[in-house]
């Protein structure tokens, strides 16, 4: 087992040291333009670092697009003409965003929480796992792959008789002055065929899945409620944007 998982508590807490502060929680109803969202996110993170804005989480959906993280390999972009491709400063490789996928951008000040990137990623994974548990989906971490995975015993086993598994949520973050931005994407009912234009996160041996693919017809608002409850368990209280 690698050090990232071996050294972590089963339920990491990232509460703000200032218990009077709540995280602003904002849900965007319309599809969000990626470039404009990225610019706004960078501006908000800078204000948080200066102490001029409160921490926040943005929940949204993007139109179909691919993003390339700092570790992206050109060979993993299978079809560069399928959707717009955006270079981004987050960690990770290529991923897809589109309608039916809940994207959560997390802007937290780790100076007021825990200045431990490895533990922060594990906390984000736990946030997703706890959300999935609400819908009786067993999400799991993997030693060599960031994100959350679901075993698929109904699918043919892989080489070496390994159980098939699919990725249901991706994580890609960036820190600047210990303020996080970018975040997670959770597949609710996206068009899974759209992932075929990339090697998602550079992983060739496993697929992707969604709530819908697992036979669960769950609405986005239902998922949002579960995300918020699980977030508060790990990161502390939230407040609706005024």
Give me the catalytic one of 59, 65, 110, 201.
201
Element of type H or E holding 149: strand 145-151
- What letter would DSSP give residue 201? G
- Beta strands at 65-68 and 94-97: parallel, antiparallel or unpaired: antiparallel
Residue 201 annotated in active site = yes
Q: Is 214 left (phi over 0), alpha (psi -120 to 50) or beta?
A: alpha
Angle, in degrees to the nearest 10, between helices 220-235 and 117-133: 140
Q: CA separation (Å) from 50 to 43, 45, 115, 139?
A: 11, 9, 17, 36
- Which tokens sit at 158? 């892989």
Q: Which of 102, 145, 104, 148 is CA-nearest to residue 129?
A: 148
**Over the range 132-152, which residues count as b (16 or more CB within 10 Å of their CB) and which as e?**
beeeebebebbeeebbbbbeb
Task: Tell me which residues are annotated as active site.
Answer: 201
């Amino acid at each position: 087992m690698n050090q990232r998982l071996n050294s972590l508590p089963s339920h990491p807490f990232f509460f703000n040291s200032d218990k009077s502060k709540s995280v602003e929680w904002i849900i965007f109803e319309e599809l969000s333009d990626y470039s404009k969202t990225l610019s706004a996110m960078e501006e908000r993170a800078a204000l948080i670092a200066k102490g001029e804005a409160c921490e926040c989480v943005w929940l949204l959906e993007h139109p179909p697009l691919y993003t390339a993280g700092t570790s992206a390999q050109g060979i993993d972009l299978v079809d560069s003409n399928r959707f717009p491709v955006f270079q981004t400063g987050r960690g990770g490789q290529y991923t897809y965003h589109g309608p039916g996928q809940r994207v959560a951008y997390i802007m937290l000040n780790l100076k007021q929480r825990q200045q431990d990137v490895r533990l922060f990623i594990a906390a984000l994974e736990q946030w997703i796992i706890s959300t999935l548990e609400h819908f009786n989906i067993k999400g799991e971490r993997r030693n060599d792959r960031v994100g959350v995975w679901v075993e698929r015993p109904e699918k043919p086993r892989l080489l070496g008789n390994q159980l098939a598994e699919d990725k249901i949520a991706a994580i890609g973050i960036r820190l600047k002055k210990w303020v996080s931005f970018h975040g997670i994407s959770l597949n609710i009912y996206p068009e899974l065929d759209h992932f075929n234009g990339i090697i998602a996160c550079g992983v060739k041996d496993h697929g992707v899945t969604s709530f819908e693919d697992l036979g669960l017809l769950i609405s986005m608002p239902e998922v949002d409620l579960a995300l918020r409850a699980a977030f508060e368990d790990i990161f502390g209280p939230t407040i609706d944007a005024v």
